[in-house]
Amino acid sequence: MLYNACIVYLYIVNHFDNHTMKILTTYSILLFCCLSQIIAQTCTSNRYIDNIFSVTKINNLEYGEAPDHDGFEWFTPDETLELDIYHPTGDTISKRPAIIMHVGGAFLAALEEHERIVYFCEQMAAKGFVTISANYRVGFSPFQDCSPPRAVYRGAQDMKATIRYIKANADTYNIDTSKIIVGGASAGGSNALLANFGTEYERATHPLGACTYAIDNSFPEPNWPDLGCVECSGNNLGQSPYNYTGVGHLVLNLWGFIYDTLLIEPGVDVLPVISFHGLDDDTVSPYTAAPYQADGLFPAVHGSVPLHNYLNSIGNINEVHLYPGEGHELWQDTPLADDIIAKSSAFIYTHLLRPPTPTIVGSNEACLNSMATYSVSPQNNMQYCWTINGNGTIINDYGNSIEVLWNNSTGIGTVSMQYVTPNWAESDLATIDVSLTPCTSVYANVLLEGAYTSNNNMHTMLNDNALIPLTQPYAVAPYNYAGNESIDNLPSTAVDWVLVELRESTAINTVVASKAALVYNDGNLYDIDGSLGVKFANIFQTGNYHLLIRHRNHVDVMSRVAVTLPNALNPYLFSVDAAVWGENQMVNMGGGVYALKAGDMDANGVINVQDFSTYIGQAAQSLVYQSGDISLDGAVGISDFSPYYNNVGSIGISAVRY
């Protein structure tokens, strides 16, 4: 709590406090608070890749009931369908990705307690997944042409029923329903593929789908019943009012098959698929062949190789891992099982869990002892994990942006950042190397009367109408500033360009350096690289300088005192009346807030009739960037006359006049 309180209070002082004495008092407190904390974040957990949990198992949960094949297609007593759930013990994440698995068994046996599927589920749960092993209906008559396709269809129906059950009970088992992985081995792999890629339309139009409807037989064989729609069997969770779909988000195909790759519709069925297959598998060929090579009994089906080739041809994300010299049931060999588990978890992480790699926005150059801002695009429900390696400290952390105080050591500092999802999946690490050089940065806050609204804020109407030039506008008389500052895209909060000068502390008419910068709507000055503060190269690090702020149609002002630079922790607030050299140099906006006086349209430091002539010469123009537009709204009109009239006769101090 102390760390959070410190950074929030520092933010308030930097941006909103306008009372000089309070700044001097609170900064010493803030330095102690913030710098006494070790500001570091630990993101890397290797969850989903490494085994980091023990595992708890829940046995024999009923997920549905459906007509079984009990020796004959026409004899279909109901079978209770069950599953086991494995979950990470002591896990505190409320929404975890789930892996649903069907074991193999040639559609003749399907035990959720099979030792190899138990091993697979335990290993994946130890990585942080919730894993589910479910049984499904088995049985067919190999000498009846339509019986094997019906067995495959029943298996897919039961996989869909399993998926629906898990979605419906996601809150009970802390499952993220947007991260469901569906897989299986052998016949179970076929269930996973057909459940995710087979639809009711394809059931009605594919030749093998005809086998799943009611079949009239000649006496004495009884008629075969309709197996029901793809989402109708096992439980009613696919129907109103539940309407859960039995489709996941990624498929694990362990030496399974699909009876027709054209079931996968380009641009529609886009689930990532990873497949594993032994090249000497003669039970389910990795190529195209009938199961068991029994061409007369079973139709030819497509193994992992043609599946991979087809998915590549339609641009779907997929991998295939082929094992020379290996046959069916690869995971009987524990080292091979571990290889499959490792490759599966990496594929899931890469293509389903991992958030996008962030792009860090911020300057790759910074002055010693300066403050710099770094940001990434905001993402919904993400944590932002920032780290600084060498020569810097995070002073303020606002989530998708941070403010870093670089120290007094030259060299390279590194800003790193990862997105972290609520599932605790981490993006790839983004980094930006920052060259720390012996320059200095000026931190100041200044308000312009013409743009002032209320509460220390200014409007951005020039920027809103794309009227601010991308190159600094002070190359003209009377400034004749030769700097080449420009920007590709103006931030939405930019109000206008200003010109910042450093003056000798003992000779205020001597200009040491000048730099064009942007003033944002909160009054803070920003460099063109987007970093807070204005960088000056080759300026003595601990020098004292008067700060002078120029604006193209406001009376310029100079700091009353010489400011010790760099001043990252003590920005100079020109919005305080006592902050500027001379008397009556700024206008009181109310509440003790002061702003530069609007109306110096010819930029000579005096508001007089010559400025009125400029105003008249530009009057009635709209959507323009003109010195006569002292209200900074993009038009020269009556709104510009009133502040001019109120300020006529104002004279800047001699040090700012041309």
Residues 620 and 635 in one domain: yes
Q: Residue 437: what pLDDT? A: 86
Let me know if residue 38 belongs to a domain.
Answer: yes
Please give the average per-residue pLDDT across 274-278, as a whole number: 97
| Nearest-10 crossing angle of helices 2-15, 20-35 | 150
Distance of CA 609 to the CA centre of its chain: 55
The percentage of the chain sitting over the pLDDT mark of 70, rounded to a whole number, equals 91
Per the structure, the complete domain to which residue 389 belongs is given by 2-44+357-437
Q: Over the stretch 288-314, which tens digit does the pLDDT of each residue have?
A: 998 888 887 788 899 999 999 999 999
Helix (H) or strand (E) holding 80: strand 78-88
Reported as a pLDDT band with limits 50, 70 and 90, residue 41 is very low
CATH number of the domain that residue 38 is part of: 2.60.40.1080
Q: Residue 596: what pLDDT? A: 98
Q: Residue 113: what pLDDT? A: 64
CA distance 281 to 256: 11
Higher pLDDT, 12 or 264: 264
CA distance 636 to 254: 73
**Cβ atoms within 10 Å, residue 282:** 12
Instruction: State the average pLDDT for the chain.
Output: 88
Let me know if residue 50 belongs to a domain.
Answer: no
Q: Residue 303: what pLDDT? A: 95
Residues 547 and 502 in one domain: yes
Structural domain ending residue among the three candidates 318, 353, 388: 353
Domains held by the chain: number:
3
Q: Over the stretch 410-435, which tens digit does the pLDDT of each residue have?
A: 889 999 999 999 999 999 999 999 99
Residues 127 and 174 in one domain: yes
CATH number of the domain that residue 300 is part of: 3.40.50.1820
Structural domain ending residue among the three candidates 437, 452, 478: 437
Q: Residue 399: what pLDDT? A: 94
Q: Over the stretch 566-623, which tens digit does the pLDDT of each residue have?
A: 888 899 999 987 899 999 999 999 999 999 999 999 999 999 999 999 999 999 999 9
Backbone angles phi, psi at 582, to 5 degrees: 95, 170
Let me know if residue 67 belongs to a domain.
Answer: yes
> Which positions ≥6 away from 25 have C-beta within 8 Å?
none
Whether 31 shows a pLDDT value over 60: the answer reads no
Let me know if residue 107 belongs to a domain.
Answer: yes
Residues 463 and 431 in one domain: no
